[in-house]
Amino acid sequence: MIALSLAEIAAILGGELRLIGTDTAETVLDGVVDTDSRTMSAGSIFVAKPGAETDGHRFVGAAVTAGARLAIVEHPVDEPVSQIVVADAVAALADLAREVISRVRAGGDLKIVGITGSNGKTTTKNFLARIVSDEGETVAPINSYNNEVGAPVTMLRVTESTRYLVSEFGAAAPGSIARLAGLVEPDVAVVLMVGMAHAGGFGGIEETAKAKAELVAAATPNGVAVLNLDDPRVAAMRELAESRGMTVIGFGQTAAADVRAHDLVVSASGTSCIIEADGQRMPLHLRVLGAHHISNALAAIAAAGALGIPAADAIARLETLDIAERWRMQPMGNDSIRIINDAYNASPDSMAAALRTLAQITGPGERTVAVLGAMSELGETAGEEHDRIGLLAVRLNIQRIVVVGPEARRLYLSAVGEGSWDSEAVHLPDQDAAFEYLRTELRDGDRVLVKSSNSVGLRHLGDRLGELFS
């Protein structure tokens, strides 16, 4: 964080400053700001966020032991640390982030990119961060820090020397993206796709589209909107962008795209295509598995172009990446039994894309094995979407379908109903049962996809299988 005095922080937050020890109102801090006491170091600021399962006020002491110099609290705590008492700790975190970004922007050349979409946010964030980091100091979220806590915590890592902030914005409900993006007003707004992920919380896909469009509405007027022209709901955001004086850069496989991909080839070693951008045709070979990641790469190349970085440079940097992120199409295992651990998150779109990738990268004499758990946050569409994935797995001729957990049973029943009944599909109650089954079932030549929503936790099963067959 930039250097601020305790008095300045209290004024920004509208809170009551309670000093302790040798601290004065003029004491200056510039350390980490976080809600996790484990990340504290000398001079850090701990935000005591109340939660559904635990209360951050209980961890102020641990934060102080780790080096925290200030606690932002909703009520005073009996710990040897200066405190600022506020009405709402999460709102205070956002207020501090807004002010820090505003000050850095006023005094330097900070450029901000915001990314949203039903799928692909974290991968695109990582792709773009890799590209721009060669140009200057870059701040980007750890993992999927894209909510009301993670996004401001990331923003508060910005200092006067930061040149690029790459933020991803998730949507817990209508208005979420507007609030988060409104803290920074991105120069470049990237919208990847509108899909069924979290549709249950929005009342349908059209409402999801409105939520994603909030990023375009929150961006800097006369900025740049980077839109996926392969998705008609995203392409329709052009009108909103142009009404705000924004330049639109379209990406996709359509001939109308400014940054375009064609001649896609998917293999076990990655994904290749031809990129058309900047008036050139250039080959791209991503070591990241899956044709769906080409769209994320196009978005990153287009966003980099909006920042003045040539497509040729962006492509060269993308080709250095081994994986997009841990637990996202992460290759594990060995040459005989390959594990693809893609269980950090799942939606109907990403589940379908992962299954297609599994089918595409499996060669003659090799066997496809899909280990699948539930997709969460689908609301009233959950049943039919699990049905659809079960049908797709069979139609792609996935040879072993291992369904884990009671929430995914409908996926299993759908696969059986479609014709995967002679031991091709099995349903197991939990991860331990699945691990015991797979350790004896898997054989040389198997290509294994592990996929579920984050809440199901199959990523840990993927790790266990990867270690077993390493």
Q: 375, 353 in Cβ contact below 8 A? A: no
Q: 349, 119 in Cβ contact below 8 A? A: yes
So what's the pLDDT on residue 379? 83
Domain boundaries, the chain: 4-88, 108-318, 330-468
So what's the pLDDT on residue 201? 57
Q: May I ask the CATH class of domain 330-468? A: alpha beta
- Rounded to an integer, what distance in angstroms lies between the CA atom of residue 464 and that of residue 457? 12
Enumerate residue ranges in the chain where pLDDT < 50: none
Alpha-helical regions (H) of 59-160: 60-66, 89-107, 121-132, 150-155
**The Cα angle at residue 443 between residues 441 and 444, in degrees rounded to 5:** 170
CATH for the 4-88 domain, from 3.40.50.150, 3.90.1150.10, 3.40.1390.10, 3.40.50.620: 3.40.1390.10
Q: Quick: pLDDT tens for 95-142.
A: 999 999 999 999 889 999 999 998 889 899 999 999 999 999 999 998
So what's the pLDDT on residue 345? 83
Query: For the whole prediction, is pTM greater than 0.75?
Result: yes
Q: Which residues 6+ apart lie within 8 Å of 90 measured at CB?
A: 47, 49, 148, 149
Quickly name the fold that domain 108-318 has. Answer: UDP-N-acetylmuramoyl-L-alanine:D-glutamate ligase (3.40.1190)
